[in-house]
Amino acid sequence: MADLVTLKIDDQEVSVPAGTLIVDAAKAIQNDIPVFCYHPKMDPVGMCRMCLVEVGTPRKDRETGEVIAEADGSPKIFYFPKLVTACTQPVSPGMAVKTNTKVVDDARKEVLEFLLTSHPLDCPICDKGGECPLQNLTMRHGPGNSRFLADEKKHLAKHVPLGDLIYLDRERCIQCARCVRFQEELVDDAVIGFKQRGRALQIVTLSEPGFDSKWSGNTTDICPVGALTTADFRFGARPWELQHSSSLCTECAVGCNTHLNTRRDGLSGDFVVKRVMPRQNEFVNEVWICDKGRFSHHFSTSPDRITVPMIRKNGKLQESSWDEALNLVADRVKDAQGSVSVIAGEVLANEDMRVLQQLANNAGGEAVAWPGVMGGAEQLAAVGAGVGTNFIDMGAGTAIVVIASDLDEEAPMWWMRVKQAADKMGATLDKSKATLIVANGRKTKLDRYANHSIRYAYGDEVNTMLALHHAANGDGAGLAADLAASDDETIKAAGQAISDAENVIVIYGREGLDYAGSSSLAQAAANMLIDGGNYGKPNNGLLGVLPKGNTGGAFALGIPAMADRAAAEVVGDAKVVIVAGADPVGDNDALPSGRFTVVSELFMTATAEMADVVLPAQSFVEREGSFTNSERRVQRFFPALPAKGQARPDWWAFGKIANAAGAMDKAPVAAGQIMQMLSKTAGAFSGIDYPALARVEEQWPDVGGEDKYYGGNAFKNTAGLGVQYATSAEQGVVPSKGDVAPLNSETGSLRAVATTLMYNRGTKIMKAQLLHPRLPEAHVEINANDAEKLGIADGDKVRVSVGDASAVVAANVNGKAPEGAVLVPQSLGTDVTFNGLKAATVVKA
């Protein structure tokens, strides 16, 4: 904790850490100094001049060195001759600030009058109207009249698409540069910028396609006027007409807190999600969300949703009642006499998984988590990142190791937060950087900020980790034979940085790794953390970049993973197969035929097409429940929309089935009841019930509420910060190192590496028409040398074959892939679905 500085703001004393800016110090005592350009997450620039205040300091007598005092003995305050911008001026001891004098008030009036000289005042049609800082501050501080002539206002283009997702209204821009600074400082995508100067200053996009950033939506949140608005919400509703519910993003395992704004659609009469906004959680997503989370909500109201239960009769799926469907399934489960297999998707809520697990176990079968491609559950439970871990707190003395993951694509919010911890050109000037070590088979976006960039050949992930361990602690040797890599200078330096660091966080992924591979990598990383004593405390331990929204829930409940097995193998000879929230058939992992197959789904997936009974499931938007994120944080989501047709939550349907089949004493009647039951039993969720998950505490910076101008339009978190459950190390179990199994990957002159893209072509994201231009076509990345050998040029169509599957896709020869590796992004709508590293052939098509 930095030293505290005491100052007086409007005669109210406040103590804040040295280096705090006046505007933040005032905010801490609820004195709202108006701002436009300042944002607490970014460096101050003092561009808008709205935060002008009177500032004075005590002065020392030059001769005596004594503080000059008033007659009553108190230090005499010498006010600066001119007003000072509160957003650029750090506090100093004894400082006095006046924020409510006539001079300050006049200055605010004049700044607003100038800003409005060219602001169109088309608030009635502006999407920002109603939650607009300029509108609010004009109402509060502005002059009633303008001395400028209205017809001298500039008229500029009002509908400028900066990209596919963001529109710019040039007239409304007040040139605060929040958006430009956000893109440069916080996400390092300098794809928008200023052109011209003075009154002619304009925002332009510098990229092709326009505004090519995964974070563009956030600029609309922090824009203090309606200059930047999203194409999604354009004229969707006025902000005050919206209904609010707290929710979570399920697109990746970060678990960003979101706020869903819903309203009845006047044309269809249905309630729809109008927009997704970030909900503040300084442990998870601060006040941001990525564009996938913001714009991919359209699946919830898609007309393709399954809305009625269906039973296969005479070879065709026909609508039925819930009673009929449930009774049929329950009878079949009973008749199967223990021969039941459950495949539970890692997108289901904790409550659904728990019910499915109980149904499977008590009916004599097993529930398996799908896709179940990520190992390391054990290690994460033992030495996972300690409770209270927060990337914001990671500064000097912390080493962050990211291995086998492209965070930018797999967990964008982690990318941003790790970047912030390592690259302190952004806000929080008082901290030095954390040490960032990035190890991957190729260069990723995170390498820009890495102190140590380690390049290994795909297949050497575990060896690299072992080598790092050796370099860091010396005694990592003996765990694996191949430590030749530890002679590498980069690894030595990285190892030194790890051993020097007080706190060590290892983030491991699964790029080029199958289940067994990621398990080995997790073990190797865990061993290093255990040797270094970096576990069981905040900002220390292991984090996995989990593949799905609630893989963490499957880990917490101890549901075994598919673990590189084919679905047919997992199902075995089970007579009844229950699949919920999973589509193995769609991923070319066929289910055996001739079984009684029950599928609970949102859409008619390939698996649902072949099912005997299809149950309409509710999406997380329509129901309540909880998810567990990659950091073991259990968080609640709340219903935002009414149920779609007859859709019901999975826990409800399978609870009824379990009850009727004798696998559960009582069918649960509420999601909270299942969590309550879990909270009373030993395990990850012990002591975690809904009230605990709904607890909130004061968060800094203060966003939401009335003052939309301070932290942007992110919503205040009123629905719960969630609970991070403790690792076994924190509960007193001394972790022990384990054996690291060597990687057993396929060999070949050309090997395919399964990679993950944020913008893929999954079932849910494809329902968002708006995002289609942003979604890449199916492609692979090939190294230039390999391409030359194969006679392939950039952009050529090639046939890629991995195992039995093959597809014709575009080949990108742009330096992304290392030699000998073909990067095959998954979920782009081709049949080439695999995990890890496989022998591949590529021929020109």
Partner 1 sequence: MFVELIKGMGTTLKHLFEEPVTVQYPEQRKPDKARFKGKHELKRYDNGLEKCIGCALCAAACPADAIFVQGAENSDEQRFSPGERYASVYEINMLRCIFCGYCEDACPTEAIVLESDYELSFYDRESAIYTKGMLLIPPPEGKPDTPMQVEPNSFDWSIPEMKDPS
Which tokens is 476 given?
């990592």
Q: Compare residues 118 and 540 and give the one whose CB is closer to partner 1.
A: 118
Cα 670 to chain centroid distance, Å, stands at 28
Euclidean distance between CA atoms 90 and 790, whole angstroms: 61
Cα 130 to chain centroid distance, Å, stands at 28
Q: Compare residues 401 and 641 and give the one whose CB is closer to partner 1.
A: 641
Q: Rounded to the nearest whole angstrom, what is the least distance from the CB of residue 130 to partner 1 in the complex?
A: 8
Euclidean distance between CA atoms 702 and 719, whole angstroms: 16
Euclidean distance between CA atoms 377 and 518, whole angstroms: 10
Q: Compare residues 116 and 765 and give the one whose CB is closer to partner 1.
A: 116
Q: Rounded to the nearest whole angstrom, what is the least distance from the CB of residue 260 to partner 1 in the complex?
A: 18
Among the listed residues 86, 87, 83, 111, the one whose alpha carbon sits nearest the alpha carbon of residue 39: 87
Q: Compare residues 123 and 392 and give the one whose CB is closer to partner 1.
A: 123
Residue tagged 């101008």 (tokens): 709
Q: Rounded to the nearest whole angstrom, what is the least distance from the CB of residue 158 to partner 1 in the complex?
A: 6
Q: Rounded to the nearest whole angstrom, what is the least distance from the CB of residue 230 to partner 1 in the complex?
A: 13
| 158 binds partner 1, rule: CB under 8 A | yes
Q: Compare residues 40 and 236 and give the one whose CB is closer to partner 1.
A: 236
Applying the rule CB under 8 A, the residues between 775 and 794 that interact with partner 1 are: none
Euclidean distance between CA atoms 508 and 503, whole angstroms: 16
Q: Are 213 and 193 in contact (CB under 8 A)?
A: no
Among the listed residues 370, 460, 325, the one whose alpha carbon sits nearest the alpha carbon of residue 742: 460
Binding mask 263-292 for partner 1 (x = CB under 8 A): -xxxx-------------------------
Euclidean distance between CA atoms 461 and 439, whole angstroms: 8
Question: Which stretch, 124-132, 173-181, 244-252, 328-336, contacts partner 1 (CB under 8 A)?
Answer: 124-132
Q: Compare residues 52 and 228 and give the one whose CB is closer to partner 1.
A: 228
Q: Rounded to the nearest whole angstrom, what is the least distance from the CB of residue 155 to partner 1 in the complex?
A: 8
Q: Rounded to the nearest whole angstrom, what is the least distance from the CB of residue 788 to partner 1 in the complex?
A: 48
Q: Compare residues 237 and 752 and give the one whose CB is closer to partner 1.
A: 237
Please name the amino acid found at residue 318: Q
Applying the rule CB under 8 A, the residues between 211 and 270 that interact with partner 1 are: 234-238, 240-241, 264-267
Residue of 29, 69, 125, 734 that binds partner 1 (CB under 8 A): 125
Q: Compare residues 265 and 393 and give the one whose CB is closer to partner 1.
A: 265
Q: Rounded to the nearest whole angstrom, what is the least distance from the CB of residue 769 to partner 1 in the complex?
A: 15
Question: Which stretch, 153-161, 751-759, 788-796, 832-840, contacts partner 1 (CB under 8 A)?
Answer: 153-161
Distances from the Cα of 815 to the Cα of 444, 786, 838, angstroms: 12, 11, 20
List the end-to-end C-alpha distance of the chain, in Å, as a whole number: 62
Q: Rounded to the nearest whole angstrom, what is the least distance from the CB of residue 131 to partner 1 in the complex?
A: 13
Q: Compare residues 76 and 155 and give the one whose CB is closer to partner 1.
A: 155
Q: Compare residues 226 and 735 and give the one whose CB is closer to partner 1.
A: 226
Q: Are 93 and 25 in contact (CB under 8 A)?
A: no
Residue tagged 């070879």 (tokens): 315
Q: Which helix (H) or strand (E) holds 798?
A: strand 797-802
Q: Rounded to the nearest whole angstrom, what is the least distance from the CB of residue 644 to partner 1 in the complex?
A: 21
Applying the rule CB under 8 A, the residues between 421 and 480 that interact with partner 1 are: none
Q: Are 457 and 442 in contact (CB under 8 A)?
A: no
Give the number of residues in contact with partner 1, rule: CB under 8 A.
19
Which tokens is 576 given?
């009844």
Q: Compare residues 102 and 235 and give the one whose CB is closer to partner 1.
A: 235
Q: Compare residues 13 and 235 and give the one whose CB is closer to partner 1.
A: 235
Continuous H helices in 298-372:
322-336, 350-362
Q: Rounded to the nearest whole angstrom, what is the least distance from the CB of residue 152 to partner 1 in the complex?
A: 14
Euclidean distance between CA atoms 270 and 622, whole angstroms: 13
Q: Are 704 and 398 in contact (CB under 8 A)?
A: no
Q: Rounded to the nearest whole angstrom, what is the least distance from the CB of residue 199 to partner 1 in the complex?
A: 20
Q: Compare residues 265 and 378 and give the one whose CB is closer to partner 1.
A: 265
Euclidean distance between CA atoms 366 and 16, whole angstroms: 56
Q: Rounded to the nearest whole angstrom, what is the least distance from the CB of residue 708 to partner 1 in the complex?
A: 17
**How many Cα neighbours within 13 Å face the side chain of 118?**
15
Question: Which stretch, 155-163, 329-337, 817-825, 830-838, contacts partner 1 (CB under 8 A)?
Answer: 155-163
Residue of 124, 198, 315, 594 that binds partner 1 (CB under 8 A): 124
Q: Rounded to the nearest whole angstrom, what is the least distance from the CB of residue 413 to partner 1 in the complex?
A: 31
**How many Cα neighbours within 13 Å face the side chain of 36?**
24
Instruction: Point out which residues pair with 782 in neighbouring strands.
Output: 822
DSSP labels, 29-70? TT-----SS--TTS-----S-TTEEEEEEE-B-TTT-PBPB-
Residue numbers of the site for partner 1 (CB under 8 A)?
121-122, 124-125, 129, 155, 158-159, 234-238, 240-241, 264-267
